[in-house]
């Protein structure tokens, strides 16, 4: 992270950000609590006269710009029926950062990919079809760049440890097997189908997505592939919905596109691990992900 960005982030508190937002909007939002999760940036529950919202902000830099650019894409997809927490208002901050107030969703993050939860995710994912916003970032182009090596993420994984280099060699073989079938760009893409970003309602039958700062246009298969990948990093004996997830993703665009997406999002995620995890944690994840790559090419073991 750039030093100036780090200083800006450290110097700002929810108090100063909320005071500035209230000044801009003429609102009376009050801070209530910090919410868990938030790999894309911290999230805070706030209230304005009993109405709950989620506040997120980013310091000056690329993430602030991405937050501002994401707003119309999220609004477009929500208007089209995507079950996502609506973004209520957003804008720039005086220091060059940006903020967003999001609808508060009362739900439970997916803790285990059981069959009912998988069906809820698949149904919600289907509603991403055809909702690509024309000015949103081209996620499919980025995935292709990751696979080809034109994006730095693959080389970061290769260069970090020997385990990373071994996994990339394996993943490249899977991508070569998958061939050159293009990844479509017609859907809205969440870009971070972490289990903490998927909330289930009280009976577990309906899924709503939150934390959509990485929204783009591409193929909804990549989102399903990302959630599928996660189960190999954090193995869960109760993942009865894993086969459902794979079957749904393979039907949408075929097993080859699913495999390409899964390899690319694996490199993407591990590049994040390079910056945020220890080499030992990184190696453990790489060792587990070989099973994912075998699964993609040869089927579940």
Pair 17, 30: CB distance under 8 Å: no
Distance CA 196, CA 174 (A): 28
Number of Cβ atoms within 10 Å of the Cβ of 223 = 27
Looking at residue 41, what is its pLDDT?
53
Is it the case that residue 266 has pLDDT exceeding 70? Answer: yes
Chain position carrying tokens 């760049």: 145
For the four alpha carbons of 211, 213, 214 and 216, in that order, the dihedral sign comes to: positive
How is residue 153 written in tokens?
């993420």
Residues whose CB is less than 8 angstroms from the CB of residue 283 and which lie 6 or more positions away in sequence, other chains included: 161, 163, 164
Distance CA 89, CA 254 (A): 38
Q: What is the mean pLDDT of residues 288-301?
A: 93
Model pTM score:
0.92
Q: Where is 9: in which H helix or E strand? A: helix 3-11
Looking at residue 300, what is its pLDDT?
83
How is residue 172 written in tokens?
């490249």
Looking at residue 17, what is its pLDDT?
93
End-to-end CA distance of the chain: 40
Q: What is the mean pLDDT of residues 232-259?
A: 93
Mean pLDDT of the chain: 92
Looking at residue 198, what is its pLDDT?
95
Number of Cβ atoms within 10 Å of the Cβ of 190 = 31
Distance CA 18, CA 92 (A): 13
Q: Domains of the chain by range and CATH? A: 3-103 (3.30.200.20), 108-298 (3.90.1200.10)
Nearest partner of 113 among 183, 207, 187, 191, judged by Cα: 207
Convert the pLDDT of each residue in 160-211 to its tens digit: 999 999 999 999 999 999 999 999 999 999 999 998 899 999 999 999 999 9
> What are residue 192's DSSP bridge partners?
none
Number of Cβ atoms within 10 Å of the Cβ of 182 = 11
Nearest partner of 269 among 225, 212, 210, 300, judged by Cα: 225
Distance CA 267, CA 153 (A): 6
Q: What is the mean pLDDT of residues 272-292?
A: 97
* Buried-exposed string 62-71: b where 16+ CB fall within 10 A, e elsewhere: ebbebbbbbb
Distance CA 222, CA 219 (A): 6
Is it the case that residue 6 has pLDDT exceeding 70? Answer: no
Pair 59, 71: CB distance under 8 Å: no
Looking at residue 40, what is its pLDDT?
46
Looking at residue 143, what is its pLDDT?
98
Pair 196, 186: CB distance under 8 Å: no
Convert the pLDDT of each residue in 11-52 to its tens digit: 478 889 999 999 999 999 999 998 875 544 578 999 998 889
Is it the case that residue 239 has pLDDT exceeding 90? Answer: no
Looking at residue 2, what is its pLDDT?
41
Convert the pLDDT of each residue in 85-117 to its tens digit: 999 999 999 999 999 999 999 999 998 889 999
Bigger pLDDT: 145 or 38?
Answer: 145
């Amino acid at each position: 992270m750039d030093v100036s960005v780090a200083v800006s982030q450290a110097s700002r508190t929810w108090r100063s950000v909320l005071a500035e937002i209230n000044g801009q909007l003429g609102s009376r939002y009050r801070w209530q609590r910090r919410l868990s999760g938030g790999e894309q940036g911290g999230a805070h529950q706030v209230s304005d006269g009993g109405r709950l919202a989620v506040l997120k902000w980013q310091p000056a830099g690329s993430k602030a710009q991405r937050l501002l650019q994401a707003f119309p894409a999220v609004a477009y997809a929500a208007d089209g029926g995507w079950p996502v927490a609506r973004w209520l208002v957003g804008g720039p901050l005086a220091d060059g950062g940006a903020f967003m107030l999001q609808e508060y969703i009362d739900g439970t993050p997916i803790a285990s990919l059981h069959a009912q939860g998988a069906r809820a995710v698949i149904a919600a994912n289907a509603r991403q079809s055809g909702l690509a916003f024309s000015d949103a970032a081209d996620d499919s182009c980025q995935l292709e760049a990751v696979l080809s090596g034109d994006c730095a993420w693959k080389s970061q994984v290769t260069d970090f440890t020997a385990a990373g280099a071994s996994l990339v060699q394996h993943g490249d073989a899977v991508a070569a097997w998958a061939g050159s079938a293009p990844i479509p760009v017609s859907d809205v893409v969440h870009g971070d189908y972490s289990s903490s970003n998927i909330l289930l309602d009280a009976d577990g039958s309906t899924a709503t997505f939150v934390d959509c700062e990485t929204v783009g246009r591409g193929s909804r298969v990549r989102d399903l592939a990302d959630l599928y990948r996660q189960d190999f990093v954090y193995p869960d004996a109760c993942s009865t919905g894993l086969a459902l997830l794979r079957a749904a993703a393979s039907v949408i665009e075929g097993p080859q596109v699913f495999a390409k997406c899964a390899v690319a999002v694996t490199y993407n995620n591990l590049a994040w691990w390079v910056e945020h995890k220890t080499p030992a944690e990184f190696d453990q994840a790489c060792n587990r992900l070989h099973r994912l790559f075998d699964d993609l090419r040869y089927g579940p073991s």
